[in-house]
Amino acid sequence: MSRIGNSPISIPSGVEIDISKGNLVTVKGAKGVLSQQIDPDLEIKIEDGTLTVSRPTDSIRHKSMHGLYRSLISNMVEGVTNGFKKELELVGVGYRAANTGNLLEMQLGFSHPIYFAIPDELQLETVTEKGKNPLIIISGIDKQLVGQVAAKIKAYRKPEPYKGKGVRYKGEEIRRKVGKSAGA
């Protein structure tokens, strides 16, 4: 039994969902439009302001697709109503971030600056306050794209376990290791 797949998705006011031939689901809302191709075996119904996804059989493939596509549609509805946001924190001496439009420039302790182009579908903001670590804020309506871009930026300098320096998600806990101990 798929607990995620069986739960219905409530459609908020102002959101239109269109299901065309070939199971192409298009979600339109206040923040934009998202579309996703759904497996043709699955059946999608919209009744009384709720959307349900059902599967034809209990085979392993259908069970896995059932929960997956229900989650994808739910994320699309959430994205066009509220949007998604990831905040990255740069921890380290001399680590800086600045943006001009959708081009991010980072100083991460290398001998050269790192330039990263953000896709046009996303919004980028950098915050630098005195006494606090610089923040990179990525926001958009596509959950997968926001997470993918944040992961790529984090991969430039992952947090290391001894001093905790690097790029991390805001609020992320880093498991710290004890360094060398003095010989006795």
Residue 90 lies in a domain: yes
pLDDT, tens digit, for every residue of 110-124?
999 999 999 999 999
0.75 exceeded by pTM: yes
Residue 92 lies in a domain: yes
Q: Which helix (H) or strand (E) holds 32?
A: none
Strand-strand pairing, 33-37 and 24-28: antiparallel
Nearest to 96 by CA among 127, 131, 134, 152: 134
Q: Which helix (H) or strand (E) holds 112?
A: none
**What is the span of the domain harbouring residue 118?**
84-169
Q: Which helix (H) or strand (E) holds 90?
A: strand 84-91
Residue 124 lies in a domain: yes
Same domain, residue pair 120 and 63: no
Phi and psi at 148, nearest 5°, equal -65, -45
Work out the pLDDT band at 179, boundaries 50, 70, 90: confident
Please name the residues in contact with 125: beta carbons below 8 A apart, sequence gap of 6 or more. Answer: 99, 136, 137, 139
Same domain, residue pair 54 and 129: no
Give percent of the chain with pLDDT exceeding 90.
74
Same domain, residue pair 90 and 15: no
Same domain, residue pair 77 and 93: no
- Number of structural domains in the chain: 2
Q: Is the pLDDT of residue 101 over 60?
A: yes
Q: Which of 54, 81, 108 is the last residue of a domain?
A: 81
What's the pLDDT score for residue 90? 94
Q: Which helix (H) or strand (E) holds 91?
A: strand 84-91
107: domain CATH number is 3.90.930.12
Tokens 């290398």 appear where?
110
Mapping DSSP to helix (H, G, I), strand (E, B) and coil, where does residue 63 land?
A: helix
What's the pLDDT score for residue 4? 85
Same domain, residue pair 69 and 105: no
**Averaged pLDDT, 119-147:** 94
Residue 156 lies in a domain: yes
Dihedral sign (CA 148, 149, 150, 153) = positive
What's the pLDDT score for residue 2? 60
Same domain, residue pair 101 and 164: yes
